Structure 1
Amino acid sequence: MSEQQQYIIGVDAGGTYTDAVIMDAATGQVVASAKRPTTHYNLSEGICAVLGAVMTESQVPPQAVSVTSVSTTLATNALVEGKGAEVGLFIIGFNQRLEVPAVAARFIPGGHTIKGEEVEPLGVNFVLDALQELHGQVDAWAVCGSMAFMNPAHELVTAKAIQIAGKVPVFCSHEASMRAGMKERATTACLNAQLLPVMSDFLDGIERALKSLNITGTVYVVRGDARAMPMAEALRQAASTVASGPAATALFGSHQSQMQGADIQDALILDVGGTTTDITLIRSGKPVIDAAGMTIGKWETHVEAVEMFTVGVGGDSFVRPAKDGTFTLGPSRVLPLCMARNLPAPEKWLGHDLNARCILPAPALTQDDIASDDILRHLAEHGPATPEQLMRSLKLAEITVEQRLVKLARKQKVTETGFTPTDALHVLNLLHLGDAEAATAAAALLGAPRKQDAHAFAQSVLADAERIIEETVLRHVTRREVGGGLAAFLANRDRQSLITVDVSLNVPMIGIGAAARLLLPGVARRLRTTITFPERHEVGNALGAALMARPLLRDKGNNA
């Protein structure tokens, strides 16, 4: 390392906030940190804002930043919320049905033997027919050929045909997996294809933000297995970033255990974000890696990653009320009512089911966008509306409206807002980031069918969030220790009428995230364990990303 002082920037882009820290590379001392809203319609805007904040506070010159290290939960969120790209799959040389995360799959003759020898020629005409049939119906393609890890020729030819036919992104299984297992390889390819647009937008946003601030130097992305990869590789290995945020969580927790010596060598690290709560484990002060391949929801993959469990509950999880006064929480995320601008008063629209959320046009809509879509045109002319109002005004079926809103949200053309735990925290005067009056008015409306006032309803929402997080912790730990049969029983122990079971967690918990201090103490009490909130825990993932880069910079200096 040169004598000139060097700095590392750590960035974590989440579904709700983008965090950043700037660290002295030699000492590991954080000199500035910041948190800014994630701007989904233009990711570089939010990234630029948070980077600008830490650069201004620290007064570090841009040329002194040697490394920028980034983690993100955008990929995780896209899969949890079902908002990744719609993928078509070509299966080469394997004529059996596979349950994979694709909206369409087509069998193509071809494939290779275990020695890499061609079984039969590739059916290129089948590829061309399928491309014509599904033109405009898929956002990305995945390709998985029999024994492609021994000879990827048929995958490469198919990918080339897709690229010639149009500009739709394509991902081949051999790029991510060199192991046997057709279903797992196909799933891994599909997930990578799903995430290509998400990661492309994210990496473009990082690149534009750094360029605008004249920050040069190496850029790394945190892989799900807690290792670093160059930014260019992240686009081709998008599925490796699914656990990027949890990996940064584990790195932060590992650092805390090392700082505290023998006090905390094993711990559960809980990161409460806006969209999800991610749970990771450290053993003997180090992240636990699942070398067999991570499971994402119900999908088994060949992606190595930290051992993790993710549940779709966070600060911005959608509270979905029903007509009878009950409600469900998550996994979809909406903009909290207290954070929305130009929104009608809750009493003018908020209700149950299809009137539980309001749709706003995205800030960056163009005239072409508005002219090409009647939903966007209605929002531009008449202002925000609920799905039910859109159905009635445009005379559309419910399923049509919902499907179109999913696509518009995926393309960042609309923003959905509704009541969330973040609103509940504002009602209870525990958080002061937005409009508490709007949140309180909404809570009063939603609590009325339950004969609850605004405060009681807000407490019910937070209690449900704590319950879901607690059950997830129990399921994860129990499944890991003794198998799945007991996991469901223990997670639902309070609902048993004939037996009482007391459960204690034998490892401490470490909380990360802005909402962690507000949601996790109750979980720790019920699980009879301790929880700590280390310094800078609000930006823990950004700090974890920066910590990952320290040895890389040190090794680079030693090799110079």
Structure 2
Amino acid sequence: MEEFDSSLQRGILGIDAGGTFTDLAFWGEKDGAVVASAKTRTMHSDLAGTIRNGLEIILKEVKPEQIKAFNLATTLATNAIVENKLRPGALFLIGYDRDIADKYYRGKKFGTDLVYMIDGGHDPKGNEAAAFGEEAFRDSCDKMPPYVETAAVSSFFSVRNPSHELRARDILHEKRPDIHVTCGHELASELDALKRATTAALNAGLIPIVMELLDSVESVCAFFGIHVPIMIVRSDGSLVSMEWARVHPIETILSGPAASSIGACYLAGAANFSRGSCVFDIGGTTTDIIYLDGRGRPMLGTDGTTVGGHKTLIKSIDIYTFGLGGDSRVRFSKERKLLIGPRRVMSLCSAAADEPRVVGCLEDMIADGNCREPIVVFKGERGCPSGKFEERIVEALSEGPSTINRLMKNERMSNMGVIQLEEMEERGLIDYAGFTPTDALTAMGRLGKWDGRASELGALILAGGEEKSVAPLCDAVCRRVSLIAAENIFVKRLSAEGFDFSRNEGALALIDYALDSHDALSSSPLRLQLDRELIGVGAPAWAFIAGTADALSADLMLPENAGVAGAVGSAVGTFFLRYAVLITPLAAEGGYRAHLPFGIKDYEFIDNAVNDTINTIVPWIKSRAMDAGAKNPTVTYKREDTEATIAGGIRKIHLSTHIFFDVSDNG
């Protein structure tokens, strides 16, 4: 075996697999700097192949033996939920109100269409509300279709007593040892039965998908001779082991934005700021706004994360996302108002770099003289055509990209056809390349990537064919991106203070007025001011953050390696785990009950309940932390008692005790 060259710096490889690009960064352990970085386009149908392409670039500068750890942030879980691509799964609801559950089911909120109702469940004290309907449960297991790959079990008040879920899991393992099983109490300790059921169902449906990805990543690493621990970024920015992520994939939703916030803090040194800061993370498709506290840590949301319309109990960073990025579609409304986003298209310059015929399509549009928007149409990779019109379009595009005018040439109802094309693009049957902020930067000479000729032609078409209007148009696009970002940053800041824009219809108009006045006049009668340092990250941040900061009268920082902040955040992330145990009084019979993750236990005195709970949970959570990837877990705990004053303030009664266990890794 070849010995490691001690002169080479070892470090951690961080990867952020985003919707448009996948970023990689090798972080040197010795000097705490980014030694090598790479950016490659994300292939949604082959994420492992995308990572392989990025690794080939990194390994031109870094030897495999220099890599001591491999940390990954991925949007795979989020995308699978949003695109409704979960694996077939069943959800067993034990002890739920049938009418309420049925209403939730009809609203398609559970994340699966295969739901079984079983008798059982517990009350808020953890007492059995009804006997577990084991015979009905076994019968439902037998009726599950053979194609089902996963199952989720959620029992009413299982966080107060998980015994029915645990029994159901045992039966499922007996009946269907081939499927993956998730129990609701394993994922969240908060109350809200419907959210917990949804969280369990989504988690179950994600397990085979994430397992396949992680198996592929392992294979890619092995191919390059990288034999190191693989850690995954969770939605709160902490790291967990690959083995943990395989069983709890729902915890990786918003993994990418969480990594970006950690990376932004590290690169900007936000932990040393004297006040809070705001991360402005602009990508190809969306922009994320994340506020950091005075210690540079991302704020956590107070509610569970909602993804793809499904409400979960998963805690994540407090993030505000809107459709604005380097690849946002730029066009004019009928009233000639400049519109940017929220939909994404391929930039003309990047599309032309891959397919030279794009330039010919744009030249045809100019020759036609009646195009309002430079759209080039490609055959998509998703969905199947429905009807003769869609079949004709897909067939025509199989020969290469085309223009809308050319596609509509022999169609009798061309206006209706244009609307149908938009619907086909939404479904992925066709793809659009169009003018974007990236093209505006390219046409202005501020960005030298890909095919600049395509951007120039697109700008000319959007400017109505007037050469003299091209430069002002491109400048207006860039300024408009900055102002849209400024508006959303300000709105998020006020919303965090409890300001309800839905009840103040004039508030947004006032903000727009301030921004428009700022945009038009050097001495505006009204200006916005952000009380935070603005940290720009993401590939296009360099182009827009100055205008955004100026509109908000904010200090700005664009740190080095801002374009790969998510990858840096993956590399420098740390392990963290939290668990809470509730102890409640037993009013009628006296005494106290500890609601433990493996059942309930009663005590005569509160201090006995607390001490025994601590002695029980510390070794349990240490073991759980090691399963999650910690090498040397350290547990701290805090007791919080909740009391109420009664009898006119004379006497206090004990309502509950929470014991919060936090685990860090000193390995």
TM class, shorter-chain normalised? 0.7 to 0.9
The one-letter code sitting in structure 1 at the alignment partner of 2:282 is V
The one-letter code sitting in structure 2 at the alignment partner of 1:536 is N
Q: Is 1:108 aligned to residue 108 of structure 2?
A: no
- Residues 271 and 516, structure 1, Cα contact 8 Å, conserved in 2: yes
Q: Is 1:360 aligned to residue 379 of structure 2?
A: yes
Secondary structure at the residue paired with 2:447? coil
- Deviation of the 1:221 alpha carbon: 0.9
Pick which of 335-344 and 9-18 moved more: 335-344
Structure 2 residue corresponding to 1:57, chosen from 22, 36, 61: 61
- Counterparts of 1:421-460 in structure 2, within 5 Å, are 421-448=437-464, 453-460=469-476
Which residue in 2 is equivalent to 1:9? 13
Pick which of 241-250 and 98-107 moved more: 98-107
- Counterparts of 1:39-78 in structure 2, within 5 Å, are 39-58=43-62, 60=63, 62-76=64-78
- Residues 537 and 563, structure 2, Cα contact 8 Å, conserved in 1: yes
Which residue in 2 is equivalent to 1:30? 34
Secondary structure at the residue paired with 2:59? helix
- Counterparts of 1:62-211 in structure 2, within 5 Å, are 62-76=64-78, 82-85=82-85, 90=91, 92=93, 93-95=96-98, 96=100, 97-98=103-104, 99=107, 101=109, 105=113, 108-110=116-118, 111-114=120-123, 115=126, 118=131, 120=133, 122=136, 144-149=154-159, 150=162, 151-152=164-165, 156=169, 173-189=184-200, 191-192=202-203, 199=210, 202-211=213-222
Aligned equivalents of 2:43, 2:392: Cα separation in 1: 22
- Deviation of the 1:11 alpha carbon: 1.1
Aligned equivalents of 1:335, 1:123: Cα separation in 2: 50
Which residue in 1 is equivalent to 2:288? 278
Aligned equivalents of 2:43, 2:224: Cα separation in 1: 18
Aligned equivalents of 2:421, 2:172: Cα separation in 1: 34
- Deviation of the 1:533 alpha carbon: 0.9
- Residues 536 and 542, structure 2, Cα contact 8 Å, conserved in 1: yes
The one-letter code sitting in structure 2 at the alignment partner of 1:108 is Y
- Deviation of the 1:519 alpha carbon: 1.3
Q: 1:118 to 1:88 in 2, by over 3 A?
A: same
Structure 2 residue corresponding to 1:304, chosen from 287, 307, 315: 315
- Deviation of the 1:509 alpha carbon: 0.8
Higher helix share: 1
The C-alpha deviation readout for 1:534-556, integer Å capped at 9, x for no partner, is 12112111111111159999969
Q: 1:223 to 1:382 in 2, by over 3 A?
A: same
Which residue in 2 is equivalent to 1:223? 234
Aligned equivalents of 1:459, 1:374: Cα separation in 2: 40
Structure 1 residue corresponding to 2:399, chosen from 375, 382, 385: 382
- Deviation of the 1:229 alpha carbon: 0.9
The one-letter code sitting in structure 1 at the alignment partner of 2:546 is P
Secondary structure at the residue paired with 1:286? coil
Aligned equivalents of 1:145, 1:85: Cα separation in 2: 25
- Residues 511 and 532, structure 1, Cα contact 8 Å, conserved in 2: yes
The one-letter code sitting in structure 1 at the alignment partner of 2:565 is G
User: How many pairs were matched up?
Assistant: 534
- Deviation of the 1:480 alpha carbon: 0.9
- Residues 237 and 317, structure 2, Cα contact 8 Å, conserved in 1: yes
RMSD of aligned C-alpha atoms?
4.6
Which residue in 2 is equivalent to 1:473? 489
Which residue in 2 is equivalent to 1:515? 540
Q: Which runs of 5+ in 2 are unaligned?
A: 383-389, 518-523, 577-628, 634-664
- Counterparts of 1:377-416 in structure 2, within 5 Å, are 378=395, 381-384=398-401, 389=407, 408=428, 415-416=431-432
Q: Is 1:531 aligned to residue 521 of structure 2?
A: no
Secondary structure at the residue paired with 2:446? coil
- Counterparts of 1:483-522 in structure 2, within 5 Å, are 483-485=499-501, 489-495=506-512, 501-522=526-547
The one-letter code sitting in structure 2 at the alignment partner of 1:532 is M
The C-alpha deviation readout for 1:359-389, integer Å capped at 9, x for no partner, is 3355xx9xxxxxxx95896267432357894
Which residue in 2 is equivalent to 1:541? 566
- Residues 391 and 398, structure 1, Cα contact 8 Å, conserved in 2: no
TM-score normalised by length of structure 1: 0.78
Higher CA-based Rg: 2
The C-alpha deviation readout for 1:486-510, integer Å capped at 9, x for no partner, is 8875444244699975321111111
Aligned equivalents of 1:526, 1:543: Cα separation in 2: 28
Secondary structure at the residue paired with 1:183? helix
The C-alpha deviation readout for 1:318-350, integer Å capped at 9, x for no partner, is 336555544643333332221112244235579
Which residue in 1 is equivalent to 2:386? none
Aligned equivalents of 2:171, 2:132: Cα separation in 1: 16
Aligned equivalents of 2:465, 2:262: Cα separation in 1: 45
- Residues 474 and 491, structure 1, Cα contact 8 Å, conserved in 2: no
- Residues 290 and 304, structure 1, Cα contact 8 Å, conserved in 2: yes
- Deviation of the 1:461 alpha carbon: 3.2
The C-alpha deviation readout for 1:75-128, integer Å capped at 9, x for no partner, is 55666xx43426887462332122564676465321422336645454677788
The C-alpha deviation readout for 1:434-474, integer Å capped at 9, x for no partner, is 11211222222233299993333333433332233222211
The C-alpha deviation readout for 1:369-422, integer Å capped at 9, x for no partner, is xxxx9589626743235789499889999898777765557xxxx654333221
The C-alpha deviation readout for 1:145-195, integer Å capped at 9, x for no partner, is 53454232587489779979x99x886644533332023224434554676
The C-alpha deviation readout for 1:7-61, integer Å capped at 9, x for no partner, is 2111111122211111222332322122222222322233122222222123x2x
Aligned equivalents of 2:298, 2:496: Cα separation in 1: 12
Alignment identity in percent? Answer: 24
Q: Which runs of 5+ in 1 are unaligned?
A: 366-372
- Deviation of the 1:481 alpha carbon: 1.6
Which residue in 1 is equivalent to 2:387? none
- Counterparts of 1:544-559 in structure 2, within 5 Å, are 544-548=569-573
Aligned equivalents of 2:445, 2:39: Cα separation in 1: 21
